[in-house]
């Protein structure tokens, strides 16, 4: 065999191998990080459970408290569970930054669900968990995500004053479920918060945001945020909503022109001023974080 023929043979062999590898191993799509958070409170203890779509090796902790009493590490399974002491005094080893409402005496924490054990990444999720307001979900697979959209493109960096659409979406739609969104609020690292959507699904201020309108296929709902805002001295805005899953299209006959008789609260059956639909199956907490930049520092569209 001449050197030219050997070169042609080797080249053809390499091409065949490359084609075989490409055909057998197509690039995989990165899965959305969509934790499913639930919590129960009993006898001064908050029991937290977080489920994931796959193996989890990150860290879940009370925000700003990475101590052993306030944190749990993923071990590669698809769920993580731990408990926090709600009655610990500030300065004690098991204090985790629990906030107590002066009005209702409800206890709540900011929970960080990290993608990585030590790094802080843009996909990390933050939630405010309040005793008695974690939902009544029966379907642990109803993972939902929140995202900001601009010109049909997801954005993680927003510009103050610009208009955005906010989408709540099931990560595993099955075509038989409807969606309903309510109890949305924005908060910052210092636990400053503003309500946006009440438990009925109605905007607290129609000049800031619309109600969430479900898509015809039922796997997501969108609201229009007229003008992006920020908190004083903060570049991050966290958004959290309760997302209800229904068997079929969610029944939504709330009249948002009527003033709610009860304040915003969790989606708990039979409480507050919200009508509970007969086909509701469960509720999940969805959250997202965006960075807000000043208009003069923002790139042009």
The verdict on residue 28 lying in a domain is: no
110 and 171 both lie in a single domain: no
If asked whether residues 119 and 160 sit together in one domain, one would say: no
Task: Tell me: do 110 and 127 sit in the same domain.
Answer: yes
Domain boundary among 96, 119, 136: 136
Domain termination residue (choose one: 70, 104, 136): 136
Domain-located, residue 263:
no
Note whether residue 264 is domain-resident. no
Q: In whole angstroms, how far apart are CA 273 and each of 6, 22, 44, 130, 190?
A: 80, 56, 28, 19, 29
The answer as to whether 69 is a domain residue is yes
Cβ 179 vs Cβ 159: under 8 Å: no
| 280: Cβ contacts below 8 Å, ≥ 6 apart | 180, 244, 245, 246, 250
What is the arrangement of strands in the sheet containing 157-159, beginning at the earlier edge strand?
157-159, 280-293, 236-247, 177-187, 193-197
- Residue 65 falls inside a structural domain: yes
Same-domain pairing of 62 and 203: no
The answer for 96, left when phi > 0, alpha when psi is -120 to 50, beta otherwise, is: alpha
How many whole angstroms separate alpha carbon 221 and alpha carbon 163?
17
Residue 73 CB neighbours (<10 A): 15
pLDDT digit string (tens) for the chain, length 301 residues? 555 444 444 344 334 333 333 333 333 345 789 999 988 888 889 999 999 999 999 999 999 999 999 999 999 999 999 999 999 999 999 999 998 877 767 889 999 999 999 999 999 999 999 885 544 333 444 578 999 999 999 999 999 999 999 999 988 776 767 899 999 999 999 889 999 999 999 999 999 999 999 998 878 999 999 999 999 989 999 999 999 988 888 887 778 887 654 444 333 333 445 667 778 887 889 999 999 999 988 877 6
Instruction: Say what the pLDDT of residue 219 is.
Output: 86
CA atoms of 192 and 267, how far apart (whole Å): 21
CB contact set of 272 (below 8 Å; sequence gap of 6+):
199, 260, 262, 263, 264, 265
Phi and psi based region of residue 235 (left: phi greater than 0; alpha: psi -120 to 50; beta: remaining): alpha
CATH number of the domain within which 157 lies: 2.60.40.4100
Whether 49 and 188 share a structural domain: no
Whether 157 and 172 share a structural domain: yes
State which of 85, 102, 136 marks the end of a domain: 136
Judge if 55 and 148 occupy the same domain. Answer: no
Picking from 29, 9, 30, 13, the residue whose alpha carbon sits closest to that of residue 21 is 13
SS3 32: coil
192 located within any domain: yes
Question: Same domain, yes or no, for 159 and 294?
Answer: yes
pLDDT (0 to 100) of residue 264: 40
Rg of the chain over Cα atoms, rounded to whole angstroms, equals 23
Same domain membership, residue 203 and residue 295? yes
To the nearest 10°, report the CA torsion of 269, 272, 274, 279.
0
* Residue 194 covered by a domain: yes
| Count of domains observed in the chain | 2
Residues 206 and 164 in one domain: yes
Q: 4 by DSSP, 3-state: which?
A: helix
Residues 39 and 172 in one domain: no
127 and 148 share a domain? no
- pTM score, whole prediction: 0.75
- Domain housing 79: 34-136
Question: Is 18 part of a structural domain of the chain?
Answer: no
**What CATH number did the domain enclosing 59 receive?**
2.60.40
Distances (CA, A) of 16 to 9, 13, 23: 11, 5, 10
């Amino acid at each position: 065999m001449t050197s030219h023929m050997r070169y042609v043979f080797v080249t053809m062999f390499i091409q065949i191998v490359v084609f075989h590898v490409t055909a057998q191993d197509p690039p995989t799509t990165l899965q959305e990080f969509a934790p499913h958070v639930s919590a129960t409170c009993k006898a001064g203890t908050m029991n937290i459970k977080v489920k994931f779509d796959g193996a989890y090796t990150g860290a879940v902790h009370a925000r700003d408290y990475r101590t052993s009493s306030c944190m749990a590490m993923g071990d590669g399974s698809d769920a993580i569970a731990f408990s926090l002491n709600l009655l610990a005094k500030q300065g004690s080893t098991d204090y985790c930054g629990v906030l107590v409402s002066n009005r209702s005496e409800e206890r709540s924490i900011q929970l960080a669900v990290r993608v990585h054990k030590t790094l802080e990444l843009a996909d990390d999720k933050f939630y405010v968990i309040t005793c008695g307001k974690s939902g009544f979900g029966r379907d642990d697979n109803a993972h939902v995500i929140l995202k900001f959209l601009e010109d049909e493109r997801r954005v993680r960096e927003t510009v103050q004053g610009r208009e955005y659409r906010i989408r709540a979406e099931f990560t595993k739609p099955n075509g038989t479920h409807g969606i309903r969104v309510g109890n949305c609020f924005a908060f910052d690292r210092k636990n400053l918060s503003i309500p946006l959507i009440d438990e009925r699904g109605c905007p607290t201020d129609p000049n800031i945001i619309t109600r969430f309108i479900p898509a015809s296929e039922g796997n997501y709902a969108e609201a229009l945020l007229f003008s992006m805002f920020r908190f004083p001295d903060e570049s991050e805005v966290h958004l959290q909503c309760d997302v209800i899953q229904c068997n079929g299209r969610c029944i939504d006959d709330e009249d948002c022109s009527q003033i709610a008789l009860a304040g915003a609260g969790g989606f708990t059956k039979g409480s507050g001023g919200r009508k509970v639909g007969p086909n509701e199956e469960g509720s999940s907490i969805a959250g997202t974080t965006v960075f807000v930049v000043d208009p003069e520092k923002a790139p042009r569209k």
